[in-house]
Chain A
Amino acid sequence: MKPILELHHVGYQVEQNQILQDISLTVATQDYITLTGPSGSGKSTLLRIIASLLTATQGDILFKDQNIAEMDPIQYRRQVSYCFQQPTLFGKTVADNLDFPFQIRQTTPDVEKQKAALTVVGLPENYLDKRITELSGGEKQRVAMIRNIMYVPDILLLDEVTVGLDEENKRIVNELIEHFHKDHQVTILSITHDAAELKQASRLLTITKGRLEA
């Protein structure tokens, strides 16, 4: 399969502190890669660099053969979407959150699409008007995830999205990831320690002290 993402000797340094070192990795289209490693090993930093929320201090990253340093970060982030561990929801209602992907593309929110997305993650359609303060932790994470995939990206970067969720919510989120991976050919890079998710993956990588283990 053709590579969608290539990392060439990527490093990240803050002052004297080398957080990531010499990371080289080729990700093929529709790969499902999980990243594990002890906390503080640089996993999240790597994902944020790939999401273009941080810039690598060494090395290059190619997305579909193009160096991301030469791409418009905003257009790039719409194709390579990063999901946070503990997401913050915007505004007052669920709709405020699901409208955002449409607003940034200057289009009218498609309510039917929003309702369908809610159904996929097991939330009722009338949740569009639900106040975000009334959502449970698991429901918040589910709303945040469908915010990321309202427009299906090429790559989904997941930063421990199931941490702190109960078994039921974990199952729903994992099914959602699996659905987008299988049915929409989305490439997945996921930091996780979750046994069920590790089983779904096609490749397992480990980062220790800022280096990718062979």
Chain B
Amino acid sequence: MNLDVNNWSLTLAMLLVMIALWIGYREKLGIDREIIIGVIRAVIQLFVVGYLLKYIFKVNNVILTLAMLLIIIFNASWNAQKRSNGMTNALLISFVAILVSTGVTLGVLILSGAIKLIPSQVIPISGMIASNSMVAIGLSYRSMNTQFRDQRQSVLERLALGGSLRDASIGILRESIKTGMAPTIDSAKTVGIVSLPGMMSGLIFAGVDPVHAIKYQIMVTFMLLSATSLGSVIACYMAYRNFYNSRKQLKDLASEK
């Protein structure tokens, strides 16, 4: 294997952080602190996870692997709910959406024999699925919030005509699900032309024949489509009722006179 980033090269690569810091300083972006915290967190988190994964791979225990998966899914849910703008039960909704999207996608991959049920394959793949599902759900939440604000009148009219909450929200739901899935669809269209994604690059780095590497990338493209669509659809359908009260009225109408 021709993989060897030694500590000296890594230290020199820190220069790249300096570029970001320098730009932040020159353009008075006020993000120096954010960059430094970000870098320190990334280094510590990755070191910890590196050693942790080494241990988990070595012991190869089902319970430990599942615990690691739950931690990944919980962290992803925590991040996704931050985008919900104070929606009730956002953490629970995000957790269910990410758990189901990760579970179903992973299940299909394992059953089809695309990956093996061993920690060194299940954990990294789950991380990829959960993080994409997390981004999709976050985008869906944001889109839903914006649309319920911008399309207030149209929602009210549908309610006034005797539409159910679903009838009144269906357009917003569809748009929000689409927004969640959009980055995955876009990247599926440009994969290989614009970007050589992480999975494929990693395998090529590790010396795998590119023709074999693309098979994995194709699998990744499929699994991310499934993860983001499932994640968005579950989160949106669980979340939209939050915008209404128990009398099936659009919330915050109180401020209107």
Q: What residues make up the interface of A, taking CB atoms closer than 8 Å to B?
A: 14, 19, 40, 42, 44-45, 48, 51-55, 69, 73-75, 77-78, 81-84, 87-88, 90, 100-101, 103-104, 144, 147-148
Contact = CB atoms under 8 A, between A and B. Distances in A.
Contacts of B156: 53, 84
Contacts of B162: 74-75, 77-78, 81, 101, 104
9 contacts: A44-B257, A54-B253, A74-B163, A74-B248, A77-B159, A101-B162, A144-B157, A147-B161, A148-B161
Nearest to B163: A104
Contacts, number: 73
Interface in B133-173: 153-154, 156-164, 167, 171
Interface residues of B, number: 23
B249 A104 contact: no
A209 to B, nearest CB: 12
B12 interface: no
Interface string B234-257: 000000000001011110011111
Interface of B: 153-154, 156-164, 167, 171, 245, 247-250, 253-257
A6 B248 CA distance: 22
Closest 10 CB pairs of A and B: A78-B162, A82-B160, A77-B162, A73-B248, A88-B154, A104-B163, A88-B153, A14-B254, A104-B167, A55-B247
Contacts of A147: 161
A193 B164 CA distance: 33
Contacts of A83: 160
